[in-house]
A and B are shown apart, each in its own frame.
Chain A
Amino acid sequence: MRLTDLEQSMLDGKQGEAVREALAFQLEVGRFFGAERFVPITNAHLMGDIEVMGNAGLGLLRRLSDHHGHCAVSTSTNARCMHFGEVDELRQDIVEIEKEKEIVRLIKDMGAVATDTCINYQTVYQPKLGEHVAWGDTGTVIYANSVLGARTNYEGGMSSFAASLTARTPAYGFHLDENRRGTLHVNVKAQLKDTADWGALGKIIGHPNQDYFSVPVFHGIDEMPLSDHLKHLGASLASYGSMAMYHMVGVTPEAMTSAQAFSGRHPDHTIEVTNADIASVYSAYNYLEAQANIVVFSGPQLSIFEMQNIAKLFEGRHVATGMHVFVTTNHAVWSDAKRLGYVETLEKSGVKILQGVCFYILQRLTQIREENGWTNLISNSAKLVNTITAHRFNTILRKTHQCVDIACTGELT
């Protein structure tokens, strides 16, 4: 890779050991992908919690801190694995909670803003068309590339931290024009109303086409989708297909026309999605016999409009015996939801609201499932019903209002 004088001085350790270690790591990643240079970034989003970092990751973070590592661009943090308030069902490990608090402290000392959110694009920072960033959560990455027209790769683990410390990232993947062209033609003939329908569309396209460099181009969307719709579509494509970008003709900024979306590239193939295809996604899930089940609204965290909607759906109703219901959102949305009365409505209905976490990354989730005897997990998030499966939940995708009905009646429909 070609290095500027500044980058060479970083590599020589003249900007400190933390920056040297970060740039050396980025060089290795860049060389793997054939990057020729670094590109400056304006913003980083860090993904790191004790559940996935473990003691080894915490040790690395301590080392960066000891070496006076400091964020060189505005930096936010992803959802955490610990809910710091009291919740009967969770009983997370006290020792691990302390480690998580140390991670938050170290990251804040490095200059990051501890937003604890996987919806930074809705609540924290919206990079502009062509702006290079380094974001460490797949749902945030696909939203940035697709909906905002910003440019980022998946920056997992050390990668997002390194980018924050050096204010740059290797120029490969979605930082380059040639990888942003559409590769798959998707003709949508289905009516997509609920966020779960958009997630189902993401599963239909993502699951059989697993490829980071695949870029679906959606045609036929005749009603302007909301931010929450695109959020669930992107999160699902990223989850099932490991995809980092899509275009939607007439909707997303690099796809004002189909020709612009493909930019001269011929699509690998065309996929048509009908109402029957969406219905078959829902019908493919089967319940297991169980005494206790759980309904989860999470993955990604809920926006204020999603909070408003489910508060309306739960109002005057109560969670049925044998059912447990969880909602996750970030601190900013929770504060607004509290002020606006949505928190009170939901809690009165027996819904538990977790702040600053995402449900599927909760620390000791397998044990939590076993201790509570939860068998079926019902959600309106296509991403969540996919990501949580290592913990051996039997997962079911349903539309939002169906999730609320199941939660309040206990009838598994």
Chain B
Amino acid sequence: MSTKLQLKRAWGPTVEAPVLVMKEGFSPRYDLDRWTGVISRIGHTAEGQSIVGKILIIPTVKGGVAAGWAFYDLLHKEIAPLGLVFGKLNPVMVQGAILANIPIADGLDQESMLMLHSGQNVRFDPSNKNITIVNFS
């Protein structure tokens, strides 16, 4: 059984990976140790978890222009996320994701977000603007 979740805008290649679901906004500068790929902000809902190779599910954004370079840097350090799916995003996330060739989308609604749990495998298909939960049970 699989479930498809709709997105509003999306860019990039299709990827399949486990998700890391955040319950709050995310900024690579405010929240992430950019030398390990681990969320380092004290009290962040994903503190201590790695973003490496994950599709990040993020309700909103914070800040900040750092993401414009940071995803490209993470990619070359081999600690980048595999995809970025937002409820709401800002242009810097898009600019940074395009530079790093990381697929990105926005418009995931709250109900869909509640269906996703960290560790689930999903297929993120930007060309069709959807996410499929693989092995949904």
Q: Which residue of A lies closest to B66 (CB)?
A: A52
Q: Which residue of A lies closest to B25 (CB)?
A: A210
Taking the nearest CB of chain A, how far is it from the CB of B44, in angstroms?
8
- Of residues 210 through 249 on chain A, the ones whose CB sits less than 8 Å from some CB of chain B are 210-213, 238-242, 244
Q: With A138-B63, A211-B88 as given contacts, are A60 and B72 in contact (CB-CB < 8 Å)?
A: yes
- Choose among A31, A48, A157, A366 the residue that contacts B95 (Cβ–Cβ < 8 A): A157
- Choose among A60, A212, A360, A387 the residue that contacts B61 (Cβ–Cβ < 8 A): A212
Taking the nearest CB of chain A, how far is it from the CB of B58, in angstroms?
10
- Choose among B60, B63, B69, B94 the residue that contacts A54 (Cβ–Cβ < 8 A): B69
Tell whether, in the assembled complex, residue B73 and residue A56 are in contact, meaning their CB atoms are under 8 Å apart.
yes
Q: Which residue of B lies closest to A140 (CB)?
A: B65
- Choose among B25, B31, B41, B65 the residue that contacts A138 (Cβ–Cβ < 8 A): B65
Residues of A close to B32: CB separation below 8 A: 390
Tell whether, in the assembled complex, residue A390 and residue B30 are in contact, meaning their CB atoms are under 8 Å apart.
yes
Interface size class of B (residues with CB under 8 A): 35 or more
Tell whether, in the assembled complex, residue B91 and residue A157 are in contact, meaning their CB atoms are under 8 Å apart.
no
Residues of A close to B73: CB separation below 8 A: 52-57
- Of residues 92 through 106 on chain B, the ones whose CB sits less than 8 Å from some CB of chain A are 92, 94-96, 98-99, 104
Tell whether, in the assembled complex, residue B60 and residue A242 are in contact, meaning their CB atoms are under 8 Å apart.
yes
Residues of B close to A172: CB separation below 8 A: 91
Q: Which residue of B lies closest to A386 (CB)?
A: B30
- Of residues 31 through 58 on chain A, the ones whose CB sits less than 8 Å from some CB of chain B are 31-34, 47-48, 52-57
Taking the nearest CB of chain A, how far is it from the CB of B95, in angstroms?
4
Is B45 an interface residue, CB under 8 A from the partner? Answer: no
Is A155 an interface residue, CB under 8 A from the partner? Answer: yes
Tell whether, in the assembled complex, residue B66 and residue A156 are in contact, meaning their CB atoms are under 8 Å apart.
yes
Q: Which residue of A lies closest to B89 (CB)?
A: A212
Tell whether, in the assembled complex, residue B91 and residue A154 are in contact, meaning their CB atoms are under 8 Å apart.
yes
- Of residues 42 through 79 on chain B, the ones whose CB sits less than 8 Å from some CB of chain A are 42, 60-70, 72-73, 75-77
Tell whether, in the assembled complex, residue B98 and residue A32 are in contact, meaning their CB atoms are under 8 Å apart.
yes
Q: With A57-B72, A155-B95, A156-B96 as given contacts, are A242 and B64 in contact (CB-CB < 8 Å)?
A: yes
Of the listed residues B33, B64, B89, B91, the one surrounded by the most CB atoms of chain A closer than 10 A to its CB is B91
Tell whether, in the assembled complex, residue A33 and residue B94 are in contact, meaning their CB atoms are under 8 Å apart.
yes
Tell whether, in the assembled complex, residue B76 and residue A54 are in contact, meaning their CB atoms are under 8 Å apart.
yes
- State the CA gap A135–B65 with chains docked (Å): 10
Is A137 an interface residue, CB under 8 A from the partner? Answer: yes
Is A275 an interface residue, CB under 8 A from the partner? Answer: no
Is A400 an interface residue, CB under 8 A from the partner? Answer: no
- Would you call the interface of chain A mostly helix, strand, loop, or mixed? helix
- Choose among B9, B88, B91, B99 the residue that contacts A158 (Cβ–Cβ < 8 A): B99
Residues of B close to A213: CB separation below 8 A: 88
- Choose among B30, B66, B77, B95 the residue that contacts A389 (Cβ–Cβ < 8 A): B30
Is A392 an interface residue, CB under 8 A from the partner? Answer: yes
- State the CA gap A158–B70 with chains docked (Å): 11
Is B11 an interface residue, CB under 8 A from the partner? Answer: yes
Of the listed residues A54, A137, A160, A361, the one surrounded by the most CB atoms of chain B closer than 10 A to its CB is A54
- State the CA gap A242–B88 with chains docked (Å): 10
- State the CA gap A136–B90 with chains docked (Å): 13
Could you mark each residue 309-336 of chain A with 1 if its beta carbon is under 8 Å from any beta carbon of chain B, else 0? 0000000000000000000000000000
Tell whether, in the assembled complex, residue A48 and residue B91 are in contact, meaning their CB atoms are under 8 Å apart.
no
- State the CA gap A56–B68 with chains docked (Å): 12
Residues of A close to B6: CB separation below 8 A: none
Taking the nearest CB of chain B, how far is it from the CB of A7, in angstroms?
18
Tell whether, in the assembled complex, residue B92 and residue A28 are in contact, meaning their CB atoms are under 8 Å apart.
no
Residues of B close to A387: CB separation below 8 A: 29-30, 63-64
Is A195 an interface residue, CB under 8 A from the partner? Answer: no
Is A25 an interface residue, CB under 8 A from the partner? Answer: yes
Tell whether, in the assembled complex, residue A137 and residue B95 are in contact, meaning their CB atoms are under 8 Å apart.
no
- State the CA gap A153–B9 with chains docked (Å): 18
- Sample (16) of A-B pairs whose CB atoms are under 8 Å apart: A28-B11, A28-B98, A34-B9, A53-B72, A57-B72, A154-B91, A156-B66, A157-B70, A210-B61, A212-B88, A244-B90, A387-B30, A387-B63, A390-B31, A390-B32, A392-B42
Extra pairs beyond A54-B73, A386-B30, A390-B32 (7, CB < 8 Å) = A138-B64, A157-B65, A157-B68, A157-B69, A157-B99, A159-B91, A238-B64
Closest 6 CB pairs of A and B: A156-B68, A157-B68, A54-B73, A156-B92, A56-B76, A156-B65
